[in-house]
Amino acid sequence: MTESITAAEPRVASPRLVALDVLRGIAILGTLGTNIWIITDLGGMIGYLHEVNAAPAAGWMWVERVLEQVTQGKFLGLLTVMFGIGLAIQQGSALRAGRAWPGGYPWRAGLLFLDGLLNFLFIAEFDVLMGYAVTGLVVACILARSDRAQWRWLIGTAAAHLTVLTVIALGMIFAPRAGGSAGAPDPNPYADGSFWDLVVFRVQNLGTFRFEPIFIAAMSVALFLTGARLYRAGVFRPEGARIRKRLMVIGFGIAAPLDLLVGVLGGGDAMVFTRYGTAPLVSLGLLSLVAQFYLHRPSVGFVGRRLTEVGRTALSCYILQNLVASILCYGWGFGLAARVSPDARVPFTVGIYLVTAAIIGAAAHLWLRRFERGPVEWMWNLSYRALTRER
């Protein structure tokens, strides 16, 4: 994500580069499709987790389950794979320029961690950037090792992640059921608190809000390495047709139907297995589909150009979309989430998603008419060059 592709739209000639930016844009808007249900929940992330495990499937709830399951985990997986691809691109650029690897990458990781920390404290408790910063630093070092060592790390971390999911499954089968957690916190900083109240609440619940990046650490390393290997294997080039076909068969022919069936019918308990089990496989199918599409499409098209703009300003759009949705829904902003009846929650959430997506899409379009990088990307690049004294 921090490796921006900045070619102007009319000059884009490489289908591979088009696919990369489009995929970044899809990943950003897709993560919003998951996070928006958290932001529109009256109890924020805590209320959302409670409702996932406790709410009955009736009325709008079936629609909500389907809509959530369509995005749940797929775009987290895609975003994670794209970060791994970005690492491979950065490593290739460094080696071609005769620079050591990982070289100055720890500075990049440190700046990304700082971005994530600020995003977590002031905007979104479900930030992924801090976790990606740590994972990226680990994977950057792994990529400097032999091909065999990289394979061992990929297989080992994937096996570790699957082992954890298996242990969780056995625990759910044999362990006694615990009582449900509380819903919205009391007092509720999302609906009634100030901006600063919500900052303090995030700090007070640091362990709860930062559990996911720790839980998925092994999966993240595996997906980073998978992205790097797919990029090097030519998944975005014509000779990668066999790889793309296999990934689409696995992703759409096997994983996607299973993911939708288990996620919709299994309820909240199944989310851990779909979000962290089947969904990453679906994301690989989606990556291959987009790569295949733009290898055979002579022009980017209107939708492709808009997704490319979001992709080129991915870091800025990721932060902006959560900020915009928070302003619309939280009590320190317009407080719309507290004014909506439970019966209207689903259409309200869909409406907030569409408004937020339109705002960030328009912002990315207008910004890139005058600048080559997004505002956060520009600040990040300036800071990196100052720290490493690169010109």
**Would you say residue 1 lies in a domain?**
no
The H-or-E segment that residue 218 falls in is helix 217-233
Q: What is the model's pTM?
A: 0.91
| 274 CB-near residues (< 8 Å, 6+ apart) | 69, 72, 73, 259, 262, 263, 266
Count Cα atoms within 13 angstroms, Cβ side, for 234. Answer: 7
pLDDT tens string 243-270: 999 999 999 999 999 999 998 887 667 8
Task: Reduce the DSSP state of residue 176 to 3 states and report it.
Answer: coil
Question: From CA 142, how far away is CA 149, in angstroms rounded?
Answer: 8
Please state the domain count of the chain. Answer: 1
Of residues 1 and 290, the one with the higher pLDDT is 290
**Would you say residue 355 lies in a domain?**
yes
At 58 the pLDDT is 58
**Would you say residue 30 lies in a domain?**
yes
The H-or-E segment that residue 373 falls in is none
**Would you say residue 4 lies in a domain?**
no
At 275 the pLDDT is 93
**Would you say residue 2 lies in a domain?**
no
Residue 3 is given by DSSP the state S
**Would you say residue 269 lies in a domain?**
yes
Count Cα atoms within 13 angstroms, Cβ side, for 118. Answer: 12
Q: In whole angstroms, what separates CA 1 from the centre of its chain?
A: 11
The H-or-E segment that residue 339 falls in is none
The H-or-E segment that residue 275 falls in is none
**Would you say residue 63 lies in a domain?**
yes
**Would you say residue 3 lies in a domain?**
no
Question: Integer distance in angstroms from the first to the last C-alpha of the chain?
Answer: 21
Which range has highest mean pLDDT (9-18, 140-149, 179-188)?
140-149
Domain holding 343, by residue range, is 9-388
